[in-house]
Amino acid sequence: MKAKILDGKKIAKEIKEKLAGEIEALYNSSGIVPGLAVVIAGADDASLVYVDMKEKACTAVGMYSKSFRLPSTVTQSEILNIIDQLNHDEQIHGILIQLPLPEGIDEKVISNRIHPEKDIDGFHPVNNGKLFLGEDSLAPCTPLGIIELIKHTGIDISGKHAVVIGRSNIVGKPAGMLLLRENATVTLCHSKTKDLTSILKSADIIVSAAGIPNLVRGDMIKEDAIVIDAGTRVVDNKLVGDVNYNEAVMAASWITPVPGGVGPMTIAMLLQNTLKAALKK
């Protein structure tokens, strides 16, 4: 039986429509407009496109958007000064640093300078710690989007065996923690994992975020498993995921395409985190 497609574009659109209503209600009740500031340094084409998408998404849902487009010659202290200003700007509820940053700038130092309450990327150690402890926090956007996609299937996550491939601080680890929060039994796999096939064969939910094309093939997937492909890599000028889609679609019950699956959800969750930060204020 062919898997059902988890259309990230459609689901993200529904989420943004809901957010627009909540943002309007917030403004009508308090006069507050959620504000997002994006800081980008250098002229990376992909990053510039992504920032433009974020600005348009903000406008579409009624958010205030502010961008700082800095030259590649910008210094670390100059970026830190901008973050300090934004930390104290009452119109700004979320601060996002577009990666990568120019060579010589410490991304960790930059990210840690953002006040945890405005850290809508969920990268600050305070927010990481709260996520680990099961406390309310601003969590990384891609993992949040992954959970929303899984929930959209209507299948209860509680008690399911979820296998996450990849242990990055941006996707793999937080995705595992969010799945634990939903009461899944989580196995976290990585490049040193032995016999990945047998582990995947027992998985009710597979989240792959390794960035290795064709890592997950159809014969590795348990019948009726949910497959979320969060790994992307450009091959021959084409964006591909970790999962061999043509094989997996014949084995899984639900599957995300690449592109059009997890990607659109990341921006939707970015907006959701910005609103969450504004509501806390």
- Residue 76 CB partners (closer than 8 Å, separation 6+): 104, 105, 106, 109, 110
Which DSSP state fits 162?
E
Q: Helix (H, G, I), strand (E, B), or coil: what is residue 130?
A: helix
Long-range contacts of 221-224 (CB under 8 A, 24+ apart): 221/248, 221/251, 221/252, 222/251, 223/251, 223/253, 224/252, 224/253
Peptide bond into 100 cis (omega under 30): yes
CA angle in degrees (0–180, nearest 5) for 40-44-47: 60
CA 142 – CA 243 distance, rounded (Å):
17
Q: Which two tokens stand for residue 221?
A: 């997937």
**Catalytic positions, written as ranges:** 54, 98, 121
> Residue 119 — φ and ψ, nearest 5°?
-85, 75
